Amino acid sequence: MRVRAIVIRIIRQFFRDKRTLALMIVAPMFILLLLHLVFNGEDYIPVIGVGDVPEQIEDQLADTGAKTDRMTEPEAYTAMDHQEIDAFITMNGMTPSVILEGSDPTANRAVMQALQQAFENMKPSERSVRPDVTYLYGAEDLSLFDNFGPVLIGFFIFFFVFIISGVSFLRERTGGTLERLLATPLRRWEIVTGYVLGFGIFTTFQASIISWFAIKVLGIMMAGSFGYVLLITFLLAMTALTLGTLLSAFANNELQMMQFIPLVVIPQIFFSGLFNLDTMAEWLRSISVIMPLTYGADALREVMIRGKGWSFIDHDIYILLAFSLFFMILNVYALKKHRRL
């Protein structure tokens, strides 16, 4: 009877906490749906710029399914800089010369497979000719960890800052500290700014240590400026900080704060560049525009793998800054939920 009483109490507790009950059922289905949509996408189709190569080679490349575009070498370098093409093929005497953009192993493999298939379909007398392959960015030995490293740095910084800031702000509220602050002459925006700056000191330290460890100790490829990496990770941490404090206003305990992870944090993994967005359906790709991690990971890759500077990451920087400011403004309004000033 006593065991039965415990079982009944637990069942009733679950039914009273409808958010937990819904999370146990809805969240796994939601994540499985995302996995289904991501991994059931189309195969990656490479885009190859062609210069002064015989039409036969271009036709063979087109027969493999690759997209080809005639252009000059300067145009090709500009297109690869803006990731509009994956490779450029031209003739170096009698030998085809291939320049791979190089920063994405998936695209590299797709280009090389297309080239291999194209040359296998040529006449037997021409099959002995093999192209010279060079890399504009990255290298032949670019590992998956080098490619995923910038995304993982951004994700772990975002994830842990989100959790720590959300739980910490929740404890400030449930412990009565926030209520006492609301009773003072401080304005809501002053309270939010103070918390963001206070937590921001520690998030800056955390982002710096994680970035240094990944690059210097783990040896993740680093072609650009470490200062830009610190700036990007700082803004990504501030976005996670302001989002975490905002959502903590809608949680009553730590468990409910954790329930936001599969709904807010995990989906960002699929749209951060860890999986190639070009293989997804167009409507699914459009979801990435509301994911802060998309912009953080993109900027980190531009700096760490492609060695780019401000002109290539300013768009991502401004959007991360806008996310942080937007979440701060929402935090100010969320404090009305507790008390009007």
pTM reported for the whole predicted model: 0.78
Segments forming the whole domain that contains residue 113: 47-135
Phi, psi of 321 (to 5 degrees): -65, -40
Burial of 94 (0-12, 13-18, 19+ CB in 10 A): exposed
Of the residues 105, 135, 165, which one is the last residue of a structural domain?
Answer: 135
In a shared domain, residues 238 and 268: yes
Q: pLDDT, tens digit, for every residue of 255-304?
A: 778 878 888 888 888 877 777 776 677 777 778 888 899 999 889 988 98
Residues 22/261, Cβ–Cβ less than 8 Å: no
Run of H or E residues at 68: strand 67-70
Residue predicted with more confidence, 85 or 199: 85
Compute the distance between CA of residue 106 and CA of residue 111 in angstroms, rounded to an integer.
9
Compute the distance between CA of residue 274 and CA of residue 154 in angstroms, rounded to an integer.
11
Residue 7 lies in a domain: no
Residues 329/336, Cβ–Cβ less than 8 Å: no
Residues 234/209, Cβ–Cβ less than 8 Å: no
In a shared domain, residues 82 and 204: no
In a shared domain, residues 208 and 110: no
Q: pLDDT, tens digit, for every residue of 144-169?
A: 777 788 888 888 888 888 888 888 88
How confident is the model at residue 340, as a pLDDT?
45
Q: How many domains does the chain have?
A: 2
Three-class SS of residue 87? Answer: strand
Residue 115 burial (CB count, 10 A) = 25
| Beta-carbon contacts of residue 128 (< 8 Å; ≥ 6 apart) | none
Of the residues 83, 102, 135, which one is the last residue of a structural domain?
Answer: 135
Dihedral sign for Cα atoms in the order 310, 312, 315, 316: negative
How confident is the model at residue 267, as a pLDDT?
84
Tokens of 192: 């939010």
In a shared domain, residues 254 and 321: yes
Q: pLDDT, tens digit, for every residue of 44-87?
A: 888 888 888 878 878 888 888 888 888 888 888 888 888 888 88
Of the residues 135, 160, 178, which one is the last residue of a structural domain?
Answer: 135
